[in-house]
Amino acid sequence: MVDCYIKRTMRLIKTIKQMRQWAERRRRGKTIGFVPTMGALHEGHRSLMRAARRRCDAVVVSIFVNPAQFGPNEDYARYPRDLKGDAALCRREKVDVLFMPTAETVYPEGHDTKILVGRIGEVLEGAVRPGHFSGVATVVAKLFQIVRPQIAFFGQKDYQQTVVIKRLVRDLNFPVKIVVCPTVREKDGLAMSSRNRYLSSEERNASRVLFKALQKGRERIQEGERDSAAVRDAMTLLIQEQPPARIEYAAIVHPDTLMEVTQIEGPVVLLLAVWIGKTRLIDNLLVKP
Ligand code: AMP
C-alpha cells in the first residue's frame, strides 16, 4: 500500500487514470490548486505549496522530470532526484496528492503531439535551449488536462516560463488561473534552485554574483539611468570580475512581451543566465523605475 498512501494523509498517485478519477471526484464545488515541479524540492517549491494551501481546498503537487524540456547535452540523466525527501516535504506541507507519473506514462510509445510556442519561447532561454519551452508547454498542458486545477502556481524564478504559461492558457483557452509567486532566496541572495546542489563550495560563493548584479542593475535604474546598455554593462562588469562565472545572456526586457528595451521608460525585467563552472544558473528581477 506504500504506493497509494503515505501515512494515510497524502495520496501518492502514479497513473493518469487514478489522477483523473481523484480530480473528477474532488472537483465538485472545490478548488484544486496545482504545483507542477521536477522534484528535489526546496523552500521555493514549498512557498508555492503554501500559496496553494491558502487559496485552495485541495493541493496537488506533481513531480516529473520532463525529458521533453531538456536538450541532448543537458542534465536530464543527472538531474537530482530525491523521492523520499520530496514525499516527506509534501506531507509536511499537507499536500493532498503527490502525482508522480513515469516518463513512459506521460509519453507512451507513439506520442507525437507537441505545442509550438511562438516568439516568446524563442528568445532568451529559448534561444540557447531550442525546444525547451515547447517541452514545457506540452507537459504543462497535459498536466492541466489530467489534474484539472482551477488555479496553478509557478515561481517568478523562472520568469520566462511564467510568461509562456500565461500565454499558453490564454491562447488555448485553459480554464486555469495562473498565480506567480516571488522568488525565494538564500540569505546571501542566491535564488533557490534544485541545481544549486551541483555547486562546489567555491562555486557556491561565486554564485552570489547573480543577485548582486541584478541589484546593481536595479540600483542604476533607480538612480535615474535610462539607457539599458549602461545598466547591462554595470551588471556584466560585476559578473566578469568573478572568475568561474561566464555570462550566457544578460537582458533587459519588457515584462509581458519579453522584447528588448533600449530606453527604460516603464517596468522592465532584468534577466541573467550565467554558468558557474559546469552549472548553469538563471535569475531575474522585476524593476519599476
Ligand atoms: P522546478 O522543479 O525547478 O521545475 O520548479 C517548479 C516550480 O517551482 C516552478 O514554477 C519554479 O519557478 C518554482 N521555483 C523554483 N525555484 C524557485 C524559487 N527559488 N522561488 C520560487 N519559486 C521557485
Domains and CATH numbers, the chain: 2-181 (3.40.50.620), 194-287 (3.30.1300.10)
Pocket lining: 66 vs ligand 1, CB cutoff 6 Å: no
> For ligand 1, is residue 47 a contact (CB within 6 Å)?
yes
What is the DSSP code (8-state) at residue 262?
S
Residue ranges in 107-156 assigned as alpha helix (H): 125-128, 132-147
**Among candidates 273, 68, 269, which has minimal Cα distance to 159?**
269
Closest by CA to 187, choosing from 203, 206, 211, 218, is: 211
Q: Is the CB of 191 under 6 A from ligand 1?
A: yes
Residue 261 identity (one-letter amino acid): V
Q: Which atom of ligand 1 is nearest to the CA of 191?
A: 19
Are 216 and 250 a contacting pair, CB within 8 Å? no
The CA distance from 266 to 186, in Å, is: 29
3-class DSSP state of 158: helix
SS3 of residue 95 by DSSP: coil
In tens digits, the chain (289 residues) has pLDDT values of: 444 444 458 999 999 999 999 999 988 889 999 999 999 999 999 999 999 999 999 999 999 999 999 999 999 999 999 999 999 999 999 999 999 999 999 999 999 999 999 999 999 999 999 999 999 999 999 999 999 999 999 999 999 999 999 999 999 999 999 999 999 999 999 999 999 999 999 999 999 999 999 999 999 999 999 999 999 999 999 999 998 999 999 999 999 999 999 999 999 999 999 999 999 999 999 999 9
Rounded Cα distance, 255 and 39, in Å: 27
| 93 Cβ below 6 A of ligand 1 | no
What's the Cα-to-Cα distance from 236 to each of 15, 195, 289, rounded to whole Å? Answer: 46, 22, 20
Q: Which among 280, 246, 269 is positioned nearest to 120, based on CA atoms? A: 269
**Which residue's C-alpha comes closest to atom 10 of ligand 1?**
154
48 lines ligand 1 (CB under 6 A): yes
Annotation marks residue 132 as catalytic:
no
| Closest-lying ligand 1 atom to the alpha carbon of residue 40 | 2
Give the CA distances from residue 115 to residues 32, 122, 151, 155, 168, in Å, rounded to whole numbers and listed in that order. Answer: 24, 13, 21, 21, 9
The reply to whether ligand 1 has any atom less than 6 angstroms from the CB of 160 is no
Task: Quote the cell numbers at residue 90.
Answer: 509534501
> Is the distance from CB of 237 to CB of 201 less than 8 angstroms?
no
Quick one: pLDDT at residue 8?
A: 53
Question: Best substitution site from 62, 133, 158, 279 to test ligand 1's pocket, by max atoms within 8 Å of Cβ?
Answer: 158
82 C-alpha to center of ligand 1: Å? 16
Taking Cα atoms as reference points, which of 237, 132, 115 lies closest to residue 169? 115
Inter-helix orientation angle 16-26/132-147, to 10°:
50
E strands, 125-236, are 151-155, 177-181
For residue 230, the CA-to-ligand 1 centroid distance in Å is: 30
pLDDT computed for residue 5 by the predictor: 47
